[in-house]
Structure 1
Amino acid sequence: MYSADINKIIPFSSVDGPGNRTAIFLQGCNFNCKYCHNPETRNLCINCMDCVPVCPAAALSDKDGKVIFAAEKCIACDNCIKVCKHGATPRIVRMTSKETFEKICENVPFIRGVTFSGGECTLYPDFMREVFVLCKQIGLGTMIDSNGSIDFKNFSDLLEVCDGVMLDIKAYDYNEHIKVTDVGNDIVLKNAKYLAGMGKLFEVRTVVVPELFDFRKTVDNVSKELAPFLKISNIRYKIISYRKNGVRKEYRDYKSPTNEEMNEAREIAIKNGFSDIVLI
């Protein structure tokens, strides 16, 4: 049985896939997105102890050089996240696939499915597969929210029990993608076509940050390349406005796109054949 580091579980979410769902955020990410709005999901706690004295509820303690988290005392003030310099949180919980499934079952029958997010949830493919197998046994839908950094062709057993993938395409141009994430995007674009060809690409997402990359070029190329696959299955294009909420201090100076720029992005996707477009 596999286990994973879980940042948080949102029992009921209406923005992480179709219908009301339980969204599970796994800890750790292999991208360094400049506009990341939940940077505390990027790394594991290194037990530096900076968070312990700032917790007003005494939910954190030092035991033999390790931060201990008492969930029952936590008041969710996020002081620990705010003080952390390492892109982590002391509130991570290691859970097995069975324990995670039991937590999901607490929300049945009020949910339609489960979505794994992050961080980057595909860093735990075997764990997700085990949870999805259990979810399928009770009729729950299964979705993955991913940055596309693993080769999905190598994880057919995971895709067999996954209804669809919501794929972030940070930038279409290779060098711009490095500028945004510190990582290239060859595998991301390869995954987009592969998943679309299987009818498993539920949604693509692009966060519009006009000062950081050419969003027009990204939306244009992504929608052009994926348009031929729309005859296999519908693909939603979610175009998201950059907002500074939750972003690391050093990256908060980017300007949000104007309404005109967001509408322009939508019109580009429409021109290339997309009809299911959501602006956020």
Structure 2
Amino acid sequence: MLRSLWTAASGMSGQQFNIDTISNNLANVNTSGYKKNRVDFEDLLYQTVRFAGTPVTAGAQIPVGIEVGHGVRPVATQKIFTPGSFKQTDNPLDLAIEGDGFFQILLPDGTIAYTRDGAFKRDGQGRVVTSDGFALEPEIIIPEDAVEVTVGSDGTVSVLLPGDNATQAVGQIDLVRFVNPAGLSSMGRNLFQETQASGFPMVGTPGLDGFGGLAQGWLEMSNVQVVEEMVNLIIAQRAYETNSRAIQASDEMLQTANNLRR
């Protein structure tokens, strides 16, 4: 059997995976805080027919060997943490991180998740929560009679109460960052989870020690560029078609061999 059948099949499978990833990027073009994925490929095992450097005569060696590859496979899907564009909302609980860092989110099981999506709301208890109802960590409670909420670039949350002339602080938003944010595990719901590859979370104050500052009334949008993804989609589609042509050519070669007569 021609090895090209399996080689081209691995190419079709890899490009299908690539198109699946591109489709997910395009589907999340309007998702706040979304970071696009990129597929990395690697070539497969090589069959060495003749080794380079093999001596042929006294003082002479083969300069170049003969190797035949066996295809390709996806080896990684990497999150690209370039900043997305900012959108002004004028909502006091919409927060964008201007630089490095993640918000901390407390999950129902007590673990901490991380997000760049700063579209926060207030629940029935006045807690600042995500759209799924998960509380911001550390917990911040906005008094029910607060007439104004202010979030400073350093994460200080202040409120203005009826009858007061000055605001009072009710909490502090901390950010975290990782040595390798691309190693975070995507959980869905705009959340990431720590892994051994990401390293341990480093907690800090917004605007200090390399952490980004907070912008109130703004949201960070997806960093997906539609034109770029459409170009990648065309390239993947053409690569898929080319590999299918290789399978078709191999099939025709086998058919020719089967039709030989003595």
| Pair in the same fold by TM > 0.5 | no
Q: TM-score, normalised by structure 2?
A: 0.23
Q: TM-score, normalised by structure 1?
A: 0.22
Between structures 1 and 2, the one with greater strand share: 2
User: Which structure would you say has the larger Rg?
Assistant: 2
Between structures 1 and 2, the one with greater helix share: 1
